[in-house]
């Protein structure tokens, strides 16, 4: 397999590249990444050092038509997995434009270039957030109508619809995956779990939005990566597959788990002004992925959190490297408004 992965210097993309390298050492992997604030070349240092010709990094933008066209042709790419995205809901509230550019137009460019180059399959990595918000009961199915509530989720839903249209119109082989909240090594400390870990470590207040009772389903990143690999190898052209971790939890429970694992107490919890348009509850039904792909999450929340916290504890240099410059500017202004 000659595979182009986009956004491989981010959290899930990096974990995916490591997983593929371990499971398919004979594959050739290319990673196209723009290196935004969330992309970090250091995430792939060991892979770069070890893989030789089997792994190549390309610095560039998924919106760049000439670059993507050249890459696909020059390297005779068989398939593309598109992770590249602006991924943080709060940033999308602060400034939606980059989300539309990368998540909609970039994704469309990838599909278009892949179609023209005759690439056999594109896996487009999407999110459960495209479905909007649930009440106290029920789950998202692949057939649930899309009802995104944030600029981030709206941009992801836009790409999902383009993918659907490209499959229907051109017969292009595209598989869309929608997953719940990931956690694990290399997650950027703007997202709930690594952010709260950093705050707990520093003995600073942990900013919990609203009443802290919003529910997310949490999946350890390795399980999501395996799901995407299964979608790539076994998915039906035109299908959408939900993935989840079968671990629904209120945010406040997640925060308390982090406090417990870092030896801190609940006095650090601060309830702050809620995120506008904050989705109340997500829950995933992934029966289709179980039946058609053999997908099942294998890591419990307790196991995954223990591994995640241990990884952050073992990698303080990684954390200080990514917590600089533009990161600090955004964090300061966003949380000042919510205090
Ligand atoms: P991330 O923000 O950690 O990484 C995104 C990566 O994409 C970075 O390396 C960044 O440099 C790169 N990138 C951004 N814009 C680009 C562009 N225009 N061209 C090339 N590269 C670009 O994101 P993540 O959490 O790893 O998420 C990866 C994908 O998975 C996204 O599509 C996201 O919507 C989806 N997803 C994430 C989660 C989650 O919980 N994190 C859950 C479901 C789906
Ligand atoms: P996040 O990690 O941003 O993922 P998403 O919004 O994509 O689900 O947030 C997860 C949950 O944690 C979400 O309900 C918002 C909440 N949250 C806080 O309470 N405080 C914070 O500082 C952050 C970043 C998130």
pLDDT in tens, 117-166: 999 999 999 999 999 999 999 999 999 999 999 999 999 999 999 999 99
> What are the tens digits of pLDDT across the range 58-101?
999 999 999 999 999 999 999 999 999 999 999 999 999 999 99
With respect to residue 212, please indicate whether it lies within any of the assigned structural domains. Answer: no
Element (H, E) at 29: strand 28-33
> Can 266 be counted among the known catalytic residues?
no
Of all protein residues, the one whose alpha carbon is nearest to atom 5 of ligand 2 is: 89
Query: Hey, which of 87, 182, 289 would you mutate to test ligand 1's pocket, going by the most ligand atoms within 8 Å of its Cβ?
Result: 87
| Torsion-angle region of 56 (φ positive above 0: left; ψ -120 to 50: alpha; else: beta) | beta
pLDDT in the model for residue 332: 87
Which domain covers residue 17, as residue numbers?
Answer: 2-184+221-244+283-298
For residue 308, is it within any domain?
Answer: no
**What secondary structure letter does DSSP report for 323?**
S
What is the structure's pLDDT at 234? 98
Distance 24 CA to ligand 2 centre (A): 34
Residue 190 Cα to ligand 1 middle (Å): 13
Let me know if residue 149 belongs to a domain.
Answer: yes
* Number of domains within the chain: 1
**Distance from the alpha carbon of residue 264 to the mean position of ligand 1, in angstroms:** 31
Q: Looking at the domain assignment, is residue 28 inside a domain?
A: yes
Q: Is 55 a catalytic residue?
A: no
pLDDT at 339 over 80: no
User: Tell me: the pLDDT tens digits for 179-206?
Assistant: 999 999 999 999 999 999 999 999 999 9
| 3-state SS string for 302-315 | HHHHHHHHHHHHHC
Instruction: Tell me if 263 is assigned to some domain.
Output: no
Which of ligand 2's atoms lies nearest the C-alpha of 335?
22
Please give the torsion angle defined by the CA atoms of residues 91, 11, 141 and 98, in that order, rounded to the nearest 10 degrees.
30
Environment class of residue 303 by beta-carbon count within 10 Å: exposed (0-12), middle (13-18) or buried (19+)?
exposed
Q: Is residue 46 part of a domain?
A: yes
Neighbours of 93 (CB within 10 A): 17
- Tell me the three state secondary structure of residue 294: coil
Structure tokens at 222: 């390795």
Q: Which residues contact 308 (CB under 8 A, 6 or more apart)?
A: 183, 184, 185, 187, 193, 220
**Has residue 192 been placed in a domain?**
no
128 is catalytic: yes
CA distance 46 to 25: 14
pLDDT at residue 63, as a whole number: 98
User: Looking at 33, 128, 160, 279, which residue is catalytic?
Assistant: 128
Mean pLDDT of 271-289: 98
Closest CA to 257 of 310, 302, 215, 216: 302
Quote the ligand 2 centre to 210 CA distance (angstroms). Answer: 11
CATH of the domain at 51: 3.40.50.720
Residue 148 located in a structural domain: yes
pLDDT the model gives residue 326: 75
Concatenated DSSP letters of 150-206: SHHHHHHHHHHHHHHHHHHHH---EEEEEE-EEESTT--TTSHHHHHHHHHHHT--E
Q: Which is the catalytic residue, given 18, 55, 152, 241?
A: 152
Tokens for 2, please give them. 């000659």
């Amino acid at each position: 397999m000659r595979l182009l992965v986009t956004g491989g210097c981010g959290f899930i993309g990096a974990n995916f590249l490591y997983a593929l390298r371990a499971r398919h050492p004979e594959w050739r992997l290319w990673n196209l990444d723009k290196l935004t604030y969330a992309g970090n070349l250091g995430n792939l240092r060991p892979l770069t050092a070890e893989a030789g010709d089997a792994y190549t990094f390309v610095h560039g933008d998924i919106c760049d038509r000439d670059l993507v066209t050249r890459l696909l042709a020059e390297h005779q790419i068989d398939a593309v997995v598109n992770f590249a995205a602006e991924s943080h809901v709060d940033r999308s509230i602060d400034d939606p434009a980059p989300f539309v550019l990368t998540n909609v137009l970039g994704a469309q460019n990838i599909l278009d270039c892949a179609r023209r180059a005759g690439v056999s399959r594109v896996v487009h990595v999407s999110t459960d957030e495209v479905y909007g918000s649930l009440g106290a009961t029920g789950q998202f199915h692949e057939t649930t109508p899309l009802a995104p509530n944030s600029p981030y989720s709206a941009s992801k839903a836009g790409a999902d619809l383009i993918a659907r249209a490209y499959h229907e119109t051109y017969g292009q082989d595209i598989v869309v995956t929608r997953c719940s909240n990931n956690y694990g090594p290399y997650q950027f400390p703007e997202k709930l779990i690594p952010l709260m870990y950093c705050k707990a470590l520093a003995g600073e207040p942990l900013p919990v939005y609203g009443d802290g009772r919003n529910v997310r389903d949490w999946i350890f990143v390795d399980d999501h990566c395996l799901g995407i690999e299964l979608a790539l190898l076994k998915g039906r052209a035109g299908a959408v597959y939900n993935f989840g971790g079968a671990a629904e939890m209120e945010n406040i429970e997640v925060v308390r788990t982090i406090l417990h694992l870092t030896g801190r107490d609940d006095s650090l919890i601060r309830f702050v002004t809620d995120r506008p348009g904050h989705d109340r509850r997500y829950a995933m039904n992934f029966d289709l992925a179980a039946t058609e792909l053999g997908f099942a999450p294998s890591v419990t929340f307790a196991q995954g959190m223990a591994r995640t916290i241990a990884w952050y504890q073992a990698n303080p240099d990684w954390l200080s490297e990514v917590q600089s410059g533009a990161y600090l500017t955004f964090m300061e202004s966003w949380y000042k408004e919510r205090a």
